């Protein structure tokens, strides 16, 4: 991640076993966020699209991991390039990545740092796919994930975190991915929703979550994984990592509560697990860029402002008439910008100093220009992601066989059966029960034809329809 104070000597002899172990654990925690996103999204969608959403998240992770090995890591995090916009191919195929530490992570092997960063890269396009939910074909997602990571994620990550990146040199503070992960995915989802158009029935029927348990499970996995997402961004096992984990949890709690309370008064004085989970994710998104720079009391502000801002941002899709199916733009795009700007206000020298890093701080340290740096990073990431994503999508639509949107019949049937030939659920239908004198279910299962001896049971069965699962 972006350590403001780096060691010039990256000798392998500096490697710490404790730091290495923590970052390996953090990589595993970030990995679990990918199926977490899938379950979160599948619960929010209609049942006929549930399996494909989880599947596409997992496929995106696999594709981006391959891309990361081929050239993604090198393009995003070259520490030898002088180019301010994109890295070189010095780490292509991970050939030169071994036990030598990266400049950003002087106490862990380069291979461990590459793995940890791979999980970030793999998660980001999975987030963006929520904007295209319920109407995108699976096959183009494979090619899109590879291209998008190369042209959108890798450059923005380089700007923010690489030693020569222009945003890093400018002075933007982005501890764990406010711009590369959340703003880029949020504005990519906005481009998806505009290019693909609205779902069939948009504005005429009410699209509601089909499985609140999946939403809760997905949010819990995301919350759990975010401890590695932000805590691991210290790239060491130290007090700054502990502070990042603490403020992450505080902001998530405050985000869930603030969104829920606002929704309670706006939606007929009823609480909703969906609203709480959405608010918790909004709080997690908002704290991400500042997680290694702010104090616990500031995390309360991040969570509250993030939860409320993202809640009202959901209304934008109704007012502006774009169909962001799963509110990715509202939560990740808006939440990422809010988090970046709040970091410019609440970033503290004392928190950064927990691991010996030196920053000028934000407004609370009277460093007024920091807000402008954060705004510049937000605008650059948002603009690049939206424009380049739109170009990629329009181009793919022109290539035979890569049409993005499923046809009308497929959309009615659902992407699960249309694109994958699989059902997420076995639905129950009501069929007439056999009348008196017919063989019982137990008789049929035994292969026999004798009648049940329990006349009362047979009579009762005749009065009730049978439930048959398909």
Backbone phi, then psi, for 10, in 5-degree steps? -110, 50
| Ranges of CATH 1.10.3430.10 domains, the chain | 12-419
pLDDT tens digits in sequence order for the chain, 470 residues long = 444 444 444 566 689 999 999 999 999 999 999 999 999 999 999 999 999 999 999 999 999 999 999 999 999 999 987 899 999 999 999 998 988 999 999 999 999 999 999 999 999 999 999 999 999 999 999 999 999 999 999 999 999 999 999 999 999 999 999 999 999 999 999 999 999 999 998 878 888 999 999 999 999 999 999 999 999 999 999 999 999 999 999 999 999 999 999 999 999 899 999 999 999 999 999 999 999 999 999 999 999 999 999 999 999 998 999 999 999 999 999 999 999 999 999 999 999 999 999 999 999 999 999 999 999 999 999 999 999 999 999 999 999 999 999 999 999 999 999 999 998 887 544 445 455 554 544 444 444 433 334 434 434 443 444 333 33
Strand ranges inside 243-308, DSSP E: none
Q: Which residue has the tokens 């701080």?
A: 361
* H or E segment and range at residue 429: strand 428-431
Q: What's the pLDDT score for residue 82?
A: 81
Contact 2, 374 (CB under 8 A): no
Sorted by sequence, the CB contacts under 8 Å of residue 210 that are 6+ apart come out as 43, 45, 46, 47, 50
C-alpha atoms less than 13 angstroms from C-alpha of 319 in its C-beta half-sphere: 6
User: From CA 258, how far away is CA 308, in angstroms rounded?
Assistant: 6
Q: What's the pLDDT score for residue 99?
A: 87
* H or E segment and range at residue 468: strand 466-469
Q: Which of 417, 323, 413, 394 is nearest to 55 (CA)?
A: 417
Sorted by sequence, the CB contacts under 8 Å of residue 38 that are 6+ apart come out as 53, 54, 55, 56, 57, 58, 126, 218
- 80's tokens: 């030898």
User: From CA 459, how far away is CA 24, in angstroms rounded?
Assistant: 63
Q: 276-302, pLDDT tens digit by residue?
A: 999 999 999 999 999 999 999 999 999
For residue 467, count CB atoms less than 10 angstroms from its CB and return exposed for 0-12, middle for 13-18, buried for 19 or more. Answer: exposed
Q: Which of 150, 145, 161 is nearest to 59 (CA)?
A: 145
CATH of domain 12-419: 1.10.3430.10
* H or E segment and range at residue 253: helix 239-266
Q: 75-129, pLDDT tens digit by residue?
A: 999 998 789 999 999 999 999 898 899 999 999 999 999 999 999 999 999 999 9
14, 15, 50, 139, 332 from 178: Cα distances, Å: 29, 28, 28, 29, 9
Contact 176, 164 (CB under 8 A): no
User: From CA 247, how far away is CA 10, in angstroms rounded?
Assistant: 30
| Coil vs helix vs strand at 431 | strand
Contact 42, 54 (CB under 8 A): yes
End-to-end distance of the chain based on CA atoms, in angstroms?
49
Contact 45, 126 (CB under 8 A): no
For residue 360, count CB atoms less than 10 angstroms from its CB and return exposed for 0-12, middle for 13-18, buried for 19 or more. Answer: middle
User: From CA 56, how far away is CA 328, in angstroms rounded?
Assistant: 16
């Amino acid at each position: 991640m972006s350590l403001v104070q780096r060691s010039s000597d990256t000798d392998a002899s500096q490697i710490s076993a404790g730091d290495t172990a923590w970052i390996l654990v953090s990589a595993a925690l970030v990995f679990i966020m990918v199926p977490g996103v899938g379950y979160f999204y599948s619960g929010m969608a209609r049942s006929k699209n549930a399996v494909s959403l989880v599947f596409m998240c997992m496929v995106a992770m696999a594709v981006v991991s391959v891309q990361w090995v081929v050239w993604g890591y090198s393009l995003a995090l070259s520490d030898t390039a002088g180019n301010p916009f994109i890295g070189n191919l010095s780490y292509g195929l991970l050939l030169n990545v071994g036990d030598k530490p990266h400049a950003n992570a002087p106490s862990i092997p380069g291979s461990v740092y590459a793995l940890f960063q791979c999980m970030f890269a793999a998660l980001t396009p999975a987030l963006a796919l929520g904007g295209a939910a319920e109407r995108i074909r699976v096959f183009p997602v494979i090619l899109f994930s590879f291209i998008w990571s190369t042209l959108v994620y890798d450059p923005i990550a380089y700007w923010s975190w690489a030693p020569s990146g222009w945003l890093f040199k400018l002075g933007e503070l982005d501890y764990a991915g406010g711009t590369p992960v959340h703003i880029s995915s949020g504005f990519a989802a906005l481009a998806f929703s505009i290019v693909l158009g609205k779902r069939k029935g948009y504005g005429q029927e009410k699209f509601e979550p089909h499985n609140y348990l999946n939403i809760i499970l997905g949010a819990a996995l995301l919350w759990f994984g975010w401890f590695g997402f932000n805590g691991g961004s210290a790239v060491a096992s130290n007090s700054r990592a502990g502070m990042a984990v603490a403020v992450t949890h505080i902001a998530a709690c405050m985000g869930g509560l603030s969104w829920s309370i606002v929704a309670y008064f706006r939606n007929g004085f009823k609480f909703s697990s969906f609203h709480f989970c959405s608010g918790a994710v909004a709080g997690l998104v908002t704290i991400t860029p500042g997680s290694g720079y702010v104090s616990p009391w500031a995390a309360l502000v991040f969570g509250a402002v993030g939860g409320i801002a993202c809640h009202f941002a959901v209304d934008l899709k109704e007012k502006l008439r774009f169909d962001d199916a799963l509110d990715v733009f509202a939560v990740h795009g808006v939440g990422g910008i809010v988090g970046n700007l709040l970091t410019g206000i609440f970033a503290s020298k004392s928190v950064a100093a927990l691991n010996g890093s030196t920053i000028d701080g934000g407004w609370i340290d009277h460093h007024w220009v920091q807000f402008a740096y954060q705004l510049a990073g937000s605008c650059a990431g948002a603009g690049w992601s939206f424009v380049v994503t739109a170009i990629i999508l329009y181009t793919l639509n022109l290539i035979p066989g890569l049409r993005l949107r499923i046809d009308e019949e497929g959309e009615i049937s659902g992407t699960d059966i249309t694109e994958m030939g699989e059902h997420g659920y076995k639905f129950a239908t009501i069929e007439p029960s056999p009348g008196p004198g017919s063989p019982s279910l137990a008789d049929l299962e035994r292969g026999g034809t004798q009648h049940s001896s329990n006349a009362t049971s047979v009579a009762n069965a005749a009065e009730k329809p049978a439930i048959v699962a398909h």
